[in-house]
Chain A
């Protein structure tokens, strides 16, 4: 008995299980989620631990304790110059100091005053600046007792006044007999000559400007004018003083530059005080012979142009 082969007949929809009848998805969501989690984790690990961004563009709060102390000192020095409490406090807040920022300044001052930081004038000045900040705010620290609380800024020069009340021996008696005063005469009062300084107001200092010229490097050019501000006055003594010396020169000795003109050649890196001895007060600031760059790009020593005018 033989079976005749049945022709193939595709199964009908009802014969196929439902799970095989759904359209096939292109994405395996389980694989995608696992891949995403692993990828993000790996990326973060790499970015944070293996190859973090280099350390730059930091903010002050990220500094080390020592660097923060330097920053606090700078803030206090600025405060001592501008007296702006609000600005100083804001800068301290930006540093994210722990606790009360003002008390922290007091503690830092205490710490600095206890170390070699206070061994030089600059350090003492910084600590005083800190004290001048926190003391008015009612804070205290050990720096108050370690650093003298005077308001006088420390200076490099200590002036010692030699006491003058040391008893001196009486002068020996003179061998020259003094003539007897005529009887009945009144004693002549001793003539005391009190030296007076010459008036300083014959001339006034008008201004000082600077210029940088390779052909006139390090010159102090002085002009002395009459009261009208235009007529030069020759023969006026100008004095320039520096550490260890002085020079006096006169206006009008270079007629080609005018009757008002006189000049002096400075040495580089020296400071000079200029005045008209007995006629005008010294300039309020010393003139410093610092290097400068000319408009052409060359190097020279800076020059000054100082003007005096008759009062």
Chain B
């Protein structure tokens, strides 16, 4: 009987360990119907870039801010500044950096590190 209980106890502990590993690591719970605030950072960044691209076209700052609010960030301009600086630091796509810098500038968040990416269009002669 002692041998049975000892085996049961040891196996129970091993089983709990296996169950927790599977339930938390191998096959964790997958949520659906999640808010945008629960998105992984890379998808939040991708969303911000898409909104920045739209802003680059229509310069609708109010619309851009409204759309970015769904990410659940408390300070949208601050968030855009952080994303922009992170993209610059990570040497991401130049086009994406430029659109983000444009949006950051529109929100009054132009910082020295963004300066080289500002777009100042030079007209052609005679235009």
Contact = CB atoms under 8 A, between A and B. Distances in A.
B36 A212 contact: no
Contact of A43 (B15, B32, B36, B127): B15
Contacts of B34: 55, 58, 62-64, 67
Interface in A107-164: 120-123, 125-126, 129, 153
A77 B54 contact: yes
A285 B56 CA distance: 13
Contacts of A28: 3-4, 6-8
B94 interface: no
Contacts of A295: 112
A209 interface: yes
A255 interface: no
Residue in A28, A43, A55 whose Cβ sees the most chain B Cβ within 10 Å: A43
B57 interface: yes
A291 B19 contact: no
Q: Chain B's interface: helix, strand, loop or mixed, by majority?
A: helix
Contacts of A33: 11
Contact of B57 (A34, A75, A81, A205): A81
A80 interface: yes
A40 B15 contact: yes
Nearest to B121: A284
A34 B39 CA distance: 40
A32 B14 CA distance: 10
A8 interface: no
A284 B121 CA distance: 7
A229 interface: no
A118 to B, nearest CB: 13
A71 B11 CA distance: 48
Contact of A53 (B24, B67, B115): B24
A70 B67 contact: yes
Given A47-B19, A206-B122, A34 B11 contact: yes
A270 interface: no
B78 interface: no
B23 A48 contact: yes
Contacts of A77: 50-51, 53-54, 57
B9 to A, nearest CB: 7
Minimum-distance CB pairs A-B, first 8? A43-B19, A39-B15, A47-B23, A35-B11, A122-B63, A77-B54, A31-B7, A31-B8
Given A32-B8, A212-B115, 8 more contacts: A26-B3, A28-B3, A32-B10, A32-B11, A36-B18, A40-B16, A74-B51, A292-B112
